[in-house]
Amino acid sequence: MAALCNQLNPERVVVGGKLAEADELLLGPMREAVRRYAIPAASDDAQVVRATLGERAELLGALILVIGKSDRAFSGRVRAAVGR
């Protein structure tokens, strides 16, 4: 994870799926490893958090893609909600 932070400089690392079920048992050591082994400029602001969407993540992501790509099928209010 520290190497990925060095390369990508993310603002947030979201841990999901089965790994998220471990919660702080996994996230605490992961945060410590990022803090210890990543370049400070790449890791100081990086947050390691648990995903909150659960099993719905894939479905919600697909739905947002469909809504974002469809100009005709949805009202202006829905398009505004997804930033289109």
* Cα 53-37-1 angle, rounded to 5 deg: 30
Model pTM score: 0.64
pLDDT, tens only, 36-71? 999 999 888 899 999 888 777 778 878 888 877 766
pLDDT, tens only, 6-20? 999 999 998 888 888
How many other CB atoms sit within 10 Å of the CB of residue 80? 10
The rounded Cα 17 to chain-centroid distance in angstroms is: 12
DSSP letters spanning 42-71: HHTT-EEEE-SSGGGHHHHHHHHHHHHH-S
Asked if pLDDT for residue 73 goes beyond 60, the answer is: no
49 vs 15: CA distance, rounded Å: 6
